[in-house]
Amino acid sequence: MFPSGLIVGIDHVGIAVADLEDAIAFYADSFGFSVVHQEVNENQGVREAMVAVDPSGHGTLLQLLAPLCADSALASFLERSGPGLQQLAFKVTSIDRAMQAARAQGMRLLYDEPCLGTAGSLINFIHPKDAGGVLVELVEPAPAD
């Protein structure tokens, strides 16, 4: 079991999309959501936009993910499953402790070491076969400036 206080909330819900600009427009026009951050993550092979559900920009975000190239993991996901929910991300206080807790329960992680995620966060993923069929991302946000 993960120690109490290690997981402190849902950081974001990842949504795979074929076209980032179309997805941003959809969420803005349909729901009034706004983009609070965009970046390209070459290591993950994605272009992404973090979209605020809450107008203050606080709380749970939607992460719209579009593949950078046809051979990325996200492109494979889109080909296999189509656009839609791709992952659920939990905010953790320590990526190292979260990885240790996952491994202690026999959960496989996609990476041996934490990777650089959105806006300087540290991340890793629990394999969907070990997390009830859901790709679970563990996110330690970057320290506030």
What is the distance between the alpha carbons of residues 1 and 101, in angstroms, rounded to a whole number? 7
Residue 144: per-residue pLDDT: 83
Where does 32-72 have alpha helices with state H? none
pLDDT value for 49: 97
**What span, in angstroms and rounded, lies between the C-alpha atoms of 22 and 30?**
12
Evaluate if residue 74 carries a pLDDT over 90. yes
CATH architecture assigned to 7-140? Roll (3.10)
DSSP tag of 109: B
- The terminus-to-terminus CA distance of the chain in angstroms comes to 32
pLDDT at 56 over 90: no
CA dihedral in degrees (11, 119, 83, 18; nearest 10)?
170
pLDDT tens digits, residue range 86-133? 999 999 999 999 999 999 999 999 999 999 999 999 999 999 999 999
pLDDT for the residue 59: 84
The pLDDT value given to residue 54: 86
pLDDT of res. 20 = 98
- Give me the residue spans of the domains in the chain: 7-140
Q: Is the pLDDT reported for residue 57 higher than 80?
A: no
Q: Which amino acid is at 49?
A: A
Give the model's pLDDT for residue 145: 72
- State the residue for tokens 């107008």: 55
Please give the Cα distance from 130 to 136 (Å, whole number): 9
For the CA atoms of 63, 136, 116, 17, what is the dihedral angle to 10 degrees? -30
pLDDT over 80 (residue 83): yes
Helix (H) or strand (E) holding 20: helix 20-31
Instruction: Give the residue carrying structure tokens 């809450």.
Output: 54
| Amino acid, single-letter form, for residue 83 | P
pLDDT digit string, tens, across residues 29-50: 999 999 999 999 998 899 999 9
pLDDT at residue number 92 = 98
Strand order in the sheet with 7-16: 34-41, 46-52, 61-67, 7-16, 84-92, 136-140, 122-126, 115-116
